[in-house]
């Protein structure tokens, strides 16, 4: 398949690598071309704008930072919708607003193209190893067409329904992760204060009822003072704010998620550590 991919960050680069490995022709666009150079060396082709990229491919996948970036990429003067043609498939894999996903879906319907919102979970490791979990909403025909491609970049893909449903599933995922991230940081703070060997604590908890993906993947990084982003703290804060906004509209109270949002807001906006990984939350306690 001829695929266009917009966004070559930590996650996008891993996905693009796997698409190339599976024999797809991939055109890429990102705002800073140098960030795409390693992918161009692997065989990806460069497009100078979202509009130009869309003209070259059957399917466009976007994975950018924030909802405002998604809106610009789709609706901007040189955006995807300025050059789409009937029958194309548009897939936004950014974790973004369900409301924006609905807006994109409605516009796609007007232009006789098919849209999916398909955010993922699994972090940089999942993107690199093609073990992502993919949560999909939108056009069901497009989902069935793209399922073999999703299977090449992930190990679990589920369809949840109409436009925005994939994003709502991802919000549920992020709410759960918020709890595991606060739990693993407080666990480390407590274990350190109790003068326990932290590597032994991790080994023990990983084999018991406290085992979870975040602890097993991020605690080893913390113990090595590795705060490089598998997932940016600033992006996780964005996700939690979206989740709280959606919950408010549905009249659902999420007190634990509110607290996690306050902690990440401190990390990102008070401590200035938004470009660290989500595991940097421990820095609120460890200096």
DSSP string, 50-67: HHHHHHH-SEEEE--SSH
Question: Which residues pair with residue 59 across a beta bridge?
Answer: 3, 89
Backbone angles phi, psi at 77, to 5 degrees: -60, -35
User: 170 an active-site residue?
Assistant: yes
d(CA 276, CA 273): 6
The angle subtended at Cα 145 by Cα 144 and Cα 150, nearest 5°, is 85
From 94, 102, 124, 149, select the one nearest 228 (Cα to Cα). 124
Annotated catalytic residue within 103, 170, 234, 238: 170
- Residue showing tokens 């609706």: 75
Q: Which residues carry out catalysis? A: 170
């Amino acid at each position: 398949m001829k695929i266009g991919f917009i966004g070559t960050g930590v996650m996008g680069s891993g996905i693009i690598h796997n698409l190339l490995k599976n024999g797809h022709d991939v055109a890429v666009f990102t705002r800073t071309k140098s960030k795409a150079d390693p992918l161009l060396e692997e065989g990806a082709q460069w497009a100078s704008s979202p509009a130009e990229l869309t003209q070259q491919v059957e399917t466009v996948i976007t994975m950018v930072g924030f909802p405002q970036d998604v809106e610009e990429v789709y609706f901007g003067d040189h955006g995807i919708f300025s050059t789409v043609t009937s029958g194309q498939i548009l897939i936004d894999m950014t974790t973004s607003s369900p409301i924006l996903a609905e807006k994109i879906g409605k516009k796609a319907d007007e232009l006789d193209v098919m849209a999916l919102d398909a955010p993922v979970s699994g972090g940089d490791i999942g993107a690199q190893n093609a073990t992502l979990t993919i949560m999909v909403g939108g056009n069901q025909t497009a989902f069935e067409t793209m399922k073999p491609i999703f299977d090449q970049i992930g190990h679990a893909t589920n369809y949840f329904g109409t436009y925005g449903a994939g994003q709502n599933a991802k919000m549920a995922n992020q709410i759960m992760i918020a709890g595991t991230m606060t739990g693993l940081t407080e666990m480390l703070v407590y274990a350190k204060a109790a003068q326990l060997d932290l590597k032994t604590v991790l080994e023990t908890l990983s084999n018991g009822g406290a085992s979870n993906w975040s602890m097993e993947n991020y605690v080893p990084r913390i113990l090595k003072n590795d705060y490089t982003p598998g997932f940016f703290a600033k992006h996780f804060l964005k996700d939690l704010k979206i989740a709280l906004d959606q919950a408010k509209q549905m009249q659902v109270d999420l007190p634990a998620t509110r607290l996690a949002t306050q902690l990440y807001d401190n990390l990102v906006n008070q401590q200035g550590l938004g470009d660290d990984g989500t595991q940097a939350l421990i820095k609120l306690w460890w200096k």
